[in-house]
C-alpha cells in the first residue's frame, strides 16, 4: 500500500508522472535522499519508489531542511517547465510556437522504467524529445505502447542468449490512457488483413513534449488483433508490417481524433513511412488530386534514415502489402501497381515494397545522422535521381547528439559547475563556453571519475550476487559476471547492440597479444561488455557467445566481464564509470554511434574506428582513431592497429602518474573529450538544427526546392 504523501512533499506524485524529473538534478536528489537504498533497488523509478517507500521515511524527509530545500528548487523548475515561457523556439519563431510538429518513431528510449525501446534508435528519439522540451520546440510524439517491452536477456553457461518476456506493470509507469469520443476507449479504427482494428492511445509526458503511444489490447478487437502492438520487433515480417501500418495510419488518425493538426511531420526511420501515405490518402479523400496531395505531403515532411546496413531497411512483398493495406489505393485515386511503385527500389528486388524508398519519395527533406552517413546515404540512393552525381543528391545530414542532462553524471556536473559557472546550462550556445572546462582542477575531476568507477563496479558485483542467489547465474559464470573487476585497473567499456558489423569480438582476434595486455603485472587492463543481439539475429548471437566464452577463460584472470540485460539504467553506469569507451564498427556501416558521445560527456575518451560521428569529433586530443576516415577496413589490420595503440599509447598514458598519483596527461584527454562533446554533440545542438533547417521550413514552405525522386 503506498504511503500517504506529507503535505510538504505533496507534489511528488505529479513530478513522478512527468519524465522531466529524470534530467533534473534537484528532482533526482529529492527521491534519492528520502531513501537511497530503495531508490537504487527500484532502479530510479519514482512511481515504484512512492509505491514502496515507508510513511516514516516520507515524514522524516518532510522535516529535513536539506531535502525540502531541494524540493522547493525542484518545484520552481517544474512550474517553469509547465509554463513554457521564454523558450528558445518561442523567441526565435514566436509565430510558430504553438504549431505542432508530429514526430513518428517505432520506439522511444526515455527511461528504463518505460521499456518500449531496443537500442540506439529509441534512445536517440528519447533524447530528441527531451531536447525539444528544453528548447520549447512544439513536438508531439507518436509511438507504440509495447506492453511486453523488449526482451529480458539472460546468458546461459554456454554463452547463448536467452530471450525472455516479462510484462511490466503499466500502473508503475508515467503513462495515462486517453479517452475517445463519448468515453469510448479507442480513438481510431484502421482496416488491415480484412478486419477493423481499433486503436487507443496512452499519453506519456516528457517535459513539455507529449508522446502518444498506440495500443490494440481492447475487448472490442478480435482476439488475434489484441496483441498486435504488444511486443517490440517480434514475430517476423508479417507482424512487423502490421505494426508499421498501425503506427503510420493509426498515428495520423489518432492525432486527428485529438484535434492536433501538425504543421510539420517527421518520420524517424522507415518504420513510420505509412504516416506519409495516409496523409496522401486524406488529401485525395478531401478532393485533391493525387499529384497535388503528394506534393503537399512532401512539402511538410522530413525523413531521417539511421543506417546504411540493408537489414535495417524494412521491405515487404506485394502480397503482404495487399493483405495489410488494401485497398487504400482506391481511396488515393491510384492503382495497386501505382501504390506499390511508391515503395519501389530501383536496384534491389523490384517485387518488394521498400519502406525507406517510400519515405524518401514522400519527404522533401531527407537526412542522414552524421556527415559521413550523409555521404554514404547519397551514394546509396543515387538511383532515385537517375543521371545525377551523388554529391548533388538532395539528402543532407544532421549529426546525432545526446541529451546532456540525461547522460552526464551528477558528480561530473558538479565539476562543470565549478569551471563554467552554475548557469552554464543556459549558455550552451555561447562560443567558448566549453573551453573553460580545460581549466578544471585535475584532482577534483579525477576524484569524481574514480567515485563513478567504483560505483559501477560495486553495482556489477551486487547484481552478480543477486543473480547467483536467485539461481539465474550459475557458479561457473560468477567470474565472468564481473566480481573480480578492480577499480584501480584501466577499464575499457563496450556496450552496443551485438550486430556483426559492430565487431565486439575483434579485440579477441589475437588472444595471446590481448592476454599480455590484460594480465600485465604493472599496467593491467580489463574490459566490460554489455549488449543484446536481436532475437532473430543468429550471427549476432554467435558473436555474443564468442565474447561471453572469453569471460570464462582463466588465462585472462577475470579481466573480461559481460553484464547481462543491457538497458538505459546500465548504460548510464557504464558511460559514466569506465575509463575508456571502445567502438569497433566495420567502416562505413556505423551511421552515427551515440554511445561514445555519452561517454565523452563524462570525460571518458573514445577508442574507435573512424566512422559515424567519430570522423567529425576525433582530433587526436579527445581519444584515439583506429584506421583512416572513409576507408573500408580489414579485420586483421584493424586488430593489429588496435593492439598497437593500446600498447604504445593508451596504457602508458593511463598509468603515467605524478607524485600525487594523478594521471595528468590522461586528464587532459578527459577534458578534451568533455569539451568537444559538450560543444558539438549534444541533442540541444541537434534539435536546434532540425528546427532551423527542417521544421520551420516545412511549416513555411521555404528553403531550396529539390527535384522529387524519379527512379
Residue 50 burial by Cβ neighbours in a 10 Å radius (0-12, 13-18, 19+): buried
Q: Say whether both 104 and 71 belong to one domain.
A: no
pLDDT bucket at 667, cuts 50 / 70 / 90: very high
Burial pattern 420-438, b for ≥16 Cβ within 10 A else e, equals beeebbeebeeeebbeebe
Q: Say whether both 235 and 269 belong to one domain.
A: yes
pLDDT bucket at 262, cuts 50 / 70 / 90: very high
**Separation of alpha carbons 101 and 263, rounded Å:** 6
pLDDT digits (tens, 9 = 90+) for 336-360: 999 999 999 988 877 899 999 999 9
Tell me: pLDDT of 514 over 90.
yes
pLDDT at position 705: 64
Q: Say whether both 589 and 637 belong to one domain.
A: yes
**Separation of alpha carbons 594 and 28, rounded Å:** 24
Do 186 and 215 touch, CB atoms closer than 8 A? no
Instruction: Dig out the grid coordinates for 50 from the structure.
Output: 512512492
Q: Determine, yes or no, domain membership for 430.
A: no
Tell me: pLDDT of 512 over 90.
yes
**Residues 593-614: what's their mean pLDDT?**
96
**Separation of alpha carbons 210 and 202, rounded Å:** 10
Mean pLDDT value across the chain: 93
**Residues 218-247: what's their mean pLDDT?**
92
SS3 content of the chain, % helix, strand, coil (to 5): 50, 15, 35
Q: Which domain holds residue 40?
A: 7-83
Say which range, 382-386, 452-456, 470-474, 625-629, has the weakest mean pLDDT: 470-474
pLDDT at position 79: 86
Q: Say whether both 79 and 102 belong to one domain.
A: no
**Residues 596-615: what's their mean pLDDT?**
96
Extract the runs of DSSP E, i.e. beta strands, from 251-319.
Answer: 264-268, 301-304, 315-316
CATH number of the domain where residue 195 is located: 3.40.50.2000
**Separation of alpha carbons 143 and 154, rounded Å:** 27
Q: Determine, yes or no, domain membership for 517.
A: yes
Tell me: pLDDT of 707 over 80.
no
**Residues 121-129: what's their mean pLDDT?**
97
**Separation of alpha carbons 514 and 528, rounded Å:** 14
pLDDT bucket at 510, cuts 50 / 70 / 90: very high
Residue % of the chain over a pLDDT of 90:
81
Residue 655 burial by Cβ neighbours in a 10 Å radius (0-12, 13-18, 19+): middle
CA distances from residue 6 to 56, 84, 543 in whole angstroms, order as listed: 10, 28, 52
Q: Say whether both 70 and 210 belong to one domain.
A: no
Q: Which of 559, 608, 560 is nearest to 580 (CA)?
A: 608
pLDDT at position 604: 98
Instruction: Dig out the grid coordinates for 660 from the structure.
Output: 600525487
Tell me: pLDDT of 1 over 60.
no
**Separation of alpha carbons 450 and 34, rounded Å:** 25
Most confident of 148-152, 188-192, 474-478: 188-192
**Separation of alpha carbons 553 and 261, rounded Å:** 59
Last residue of a domain, one of 359, 382, 400: 400
pLDDT at position 226: 96
Residue 263 burial by Cβ neighbours in a 10 Å radius (0-12, 13-18, 19+): middle
User: Which residues make Cβ contacts (< 8 Å) with residue 349, sequence separation at least 6?
Assistant: 315
pLDDT at position 20: 95
pLDDT at position 182: 84
pLDDT bucket at 656, cuts 50 / 70 / 90: very high
SS3 for 646-694 is HHHHHHHHHHCCCCCCCCHHHHHHHHHHHHHHHHHCEHHHHHHHHHHHH
Tell me: pLDDT of 82 over 80.
no
Tell me: pLDDT of 278 over 70.
yes
Q: Determine, yes or no, domain membership for 183.
A: yes
Do 541 and 533 touch, CB atoms closer than 8 A? yes
pLDDT bucket at 162, cuts 50 / 70 / 90: confident
**Separation of alpha carbons 13 and 71, rounded Å:** 13
Which residue pairs, CB below 8 angstroms and at least 24 apart, start in 639-644? 639/506, 639/507, 639/509, 639/510, 640/510, 642/506, 642/507, 642/584, 642/607, 643/510, 643/513, 643/514, 643/517
Per DSSP, helices labelled H in 470-552 are: 511-518, 538-551
Tell me: pLDDT of 704 over 70.
no
SS3 for 100-123 is CEEEECCCCCCCCCCCCCCCHHHH
Q: Say whether both 480 and 530 belong to one domain.
A: yes
Q: Say whether both 396 and 479 belong to one domain.
A: no
Tell me: pLDDT of 152 over 90.
no
Instruction: Dig out the grid coordinates for 113 from the structure.
Output: 522504467
pTM greater than the 0.75 cutoff: yes
Q: Say whether both 314 and 230 belong to one domain.
A: yes
Q: Say whether both 342 and 480 belong to one domain.
A: no
Q: Determine, yes or no, domain membership for 118.
A: yes
Q: Determine, yes or no, domain membership for 372.
A: yes
Residue % of the chain over a pLDDT of 70:
99
| Cα Rg of the chain, angstroms | 25
Tell me: pLDDT of 711 over 90.
no
Say which range, 147-151, 267-271, 400-404, has the weakest mean pLDDT: 147-151
pLDDT bucket at 149, cuts 50 / 70 / 90: confident
Q: Determine, yes or no, domain membership for 643.
A: yes
Last residue of a domain, one of 83, 107, 123: 83
pLDDT digits (tens, 9 = 90+) for 458-485: 999 998 888 888 777 888 888 888 999 9
Say which range, 42-51, 98-107, 525-534, 700-709, has the weakest mean pLDDT: 700-709
Last residue of a domain, one of 58, 83, 108: 83
Residue the block writes with cell 543473480 = 467
Q: Say whether both 166 and 258 belong to one domain.
A: yes
Q: Say whether both 331 and 370 belong to one domain.
A: yes
Do 670 and 445 touch, CB atoms closer than 8 A? yes
Tell me: pLDDT of 80 over 90.
no
Do 118 and 150 touch, CB atoms closer than 8 A? yes
pLDDT bucket at 73, cuts 50 / 70 / 90: very high
Residue 661 burial by Cβ neighbours in a 10 Å radius (0-12, 13-18, 19+): exposed
**Residues 594-598: what's their mean pLDDT?**
96
Q: Determine, yes or no, domain membership for 443.
A: no
Q: Determine, yes or no, domain membership for 157.
A: yes
pLDDT digits (tens, 9 = 90+) for 37-67: 999 999 999 999 999 999 999 999 999 999 9
pLDDT bucket at 628, cuts 50 / 70 / 90: confident
How many domains does the chain fold into?
3
Q: Say whether both 299 and 238 belong to one domain.
A: yes
Amino acid at each position: 500500500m503506498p504511503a500517504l504523501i506529507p503535505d510538504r512533499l505533496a507534489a511528488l506524485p505529479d513530478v513522478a508522472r512527468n519524465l522531466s524529473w529524470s534530467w533534473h538534478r534537484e528532482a533526482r536528489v529529492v527521491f534519492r535522499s528520502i531513501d537511497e537504498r530503495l531508490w537504487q533497488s527500484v532502479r530510479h523509478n519514482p512511481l515504484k519508489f512512492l509505491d514502496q517507500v515507508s510513511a516514516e521515511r516520507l515524514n522524516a524527509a518532510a522535516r529535513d531542511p536539506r531535502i525540502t530545500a531541494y524540493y522547493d528548487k525542484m518545484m520552481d523548475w517544474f512550474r517553469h517547465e509547465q509554463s513554457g515561457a521564454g523558450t528558445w523556439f518561442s523567441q526565435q519563431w514566436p509565430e510558430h510556437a504553438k504549431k505542432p510538429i508530429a514526430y513518428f518513431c517505432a520506439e522511444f528510449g526515455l527511461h528504463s522504467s518505460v521499456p518500449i525501446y531496443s537500442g540506439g534508435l529509441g534512445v536517440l528519439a528519447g533524447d530528441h524529445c527531451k531536447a525539444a522540451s528544453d528548447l520549447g520546440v512544439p513536438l508531439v510524439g507518436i509511438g507504440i505502447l509495447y506492453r511486453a517491452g523488449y526482451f529480458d536477456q539472460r546468458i546461459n553457461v554456454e554463452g547463448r542468449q536467452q530471450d525472455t518476456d516479462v510484462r511490466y506493470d503499466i500502473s508503475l509507469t508515467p503513462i495515462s490512457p486517453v479517452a475517445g469520443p463519448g468515453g469510448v476507449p479507442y480513438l481510431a479504427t484502421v482496416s488491415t488483413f480484412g478486419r477493423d482494428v481499433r486503436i487507443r492511445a496512452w499519453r506519456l509526458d516528457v517535459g513539455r513534449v507529449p508522446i502518444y503511444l498506440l495500443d490494440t489490447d481492447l475487448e472490442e478487437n478480435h482476439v488475434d488483433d489484441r496483441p498486435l502492438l504488444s511486443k517490440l520487433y517480434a514475430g517476423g515480417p508479417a507482424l512487423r508490417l502490421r505494426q508499421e501500418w498501425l503506427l503510420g495510419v493509426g498515428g495520423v488518425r489518432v492525432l486527428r481524433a485529438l484535434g492536433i493538426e501538425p504543421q510539420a511531420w517527421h518520420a524517424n526511420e522507415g518504420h513510420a513511412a505509412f504516416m506519409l501515405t495516409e496523409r496522401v490518402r486524406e488529401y485525395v479523400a478531401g478532393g485533391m488530386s493525387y499529384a497535388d496531395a503528394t506534393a503537399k505531403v512532401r512539402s511538410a515532411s522530413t525523413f531521417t534514415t539511421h543506417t546504411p546496413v540493408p537489414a535495417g531497411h524494412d521491405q515487404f512483398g506485394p502480397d503482404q502489402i495487399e493483405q495489410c493495406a488494401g485497398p487504400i489505393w482506391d481511396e488515393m485515386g491510384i492503382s495497386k501497381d501505382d501504390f506499390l511503385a511508391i515503395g519501389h527500389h530501383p536496384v534491389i528486388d523490384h517485387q518488394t515494397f521498400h519502406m525507406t524508398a517510400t519515405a524518401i519519395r514522400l519527404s522533401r527533406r531527407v537526412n542522414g545522422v552524421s556527415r559521413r552517413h550523409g555521404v554514404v546515404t547519397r551514394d546509396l540512393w543515387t538511383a532515385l535521381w537517375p543521371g545525377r552525381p551523388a554529391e548533388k543528391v538532395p539528402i543532407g545530414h544532421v549529426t546525432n547528439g545526446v541529451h546532456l542532462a540525461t547522460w552526464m553524471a551528477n558528480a561530473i556536473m558538479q565539476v562543470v559547475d565549478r569551471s563554467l559557472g552554475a548557469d552554464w546550462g543556459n549558455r550552451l550556445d555561447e562560443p567558448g563556453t566549453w573551453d573553460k572546462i580545460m581549466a578544471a582542477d585535475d584532482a577534483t575531476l579525477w576524484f569524481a571519475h574514480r567515485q563513478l568507477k567504483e560505483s559501477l563496479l560495486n553495482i556489477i558485483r551486487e547484481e552478480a550476487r543477486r543473480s547467483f542467489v536467485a539461481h539465474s547465474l550459475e557458479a561457473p559464470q560468477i567470474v565472468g559476471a564481473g566480481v573480480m573487476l578492480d577499480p584501480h585497473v584501466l577499464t575499457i567499456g563496450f556496450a552496443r547492440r551485438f550486430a556483426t558489423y559492430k565487431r565486439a569480438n575483434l579485440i579477441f582476434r589475437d588472444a595471446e597479444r590481448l592476454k599480455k595486455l590484460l594480465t600485465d603485472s604493472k599496467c593491467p587492463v580489463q574490459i566490460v561488455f554489455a549488449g543484446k543481439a536481436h532475437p532473430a539475429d543468429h550471427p549476432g548471437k554467435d558473436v555474443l557467445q564468442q565474447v561471453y566464452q572469453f569471460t570464462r577463460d582463466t588465462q585472462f584472470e577475470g579481466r573480461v566481464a559481460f553484464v547481462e540485460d543491457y538497458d538505459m539504467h546500465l548504460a548510464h553506469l557504464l558511460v559514466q564509470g569506465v575509463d575508456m569507451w571502445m567502438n569497433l564498427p566495420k567502416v562505413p556501416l556505423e551511421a552515427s554511434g551515440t554511445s561514445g558521445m555519452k561517454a565523452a560527456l563524462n570525460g571518458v575518451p573514445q577508442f574507435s574506428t573512424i566512422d559515424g560521428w567519430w570522423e567529425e569529433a576525433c582530433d587526436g586530443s579527445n581519444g584515439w582513431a583506429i584506421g583512416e576516415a572513409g576507408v573500408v577496413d580489414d579485420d586483421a589490420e584493424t586488430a593489429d592497429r588496435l593492439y598497437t595503440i593500446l600498447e604504445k599509447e593508451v596504457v602508458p598514458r593511463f598509468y603515467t602518474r605524478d607524485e600525487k598519483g594523478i594521471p595528468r596527461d590522461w586528464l587532459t584527454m578527459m577534458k578534451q573529450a568533455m569539451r568537444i562533446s559538450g560543444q558539438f554533440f549534444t541533442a540541444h545542438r541537434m534539435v536546434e538544427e532540425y528546427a532551423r533547417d527542417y521544421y520551420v521550413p516545412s511549416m513555411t514552405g521555404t528553403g531550396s526546392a529539390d527535384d522529387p525522386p524519379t527512379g
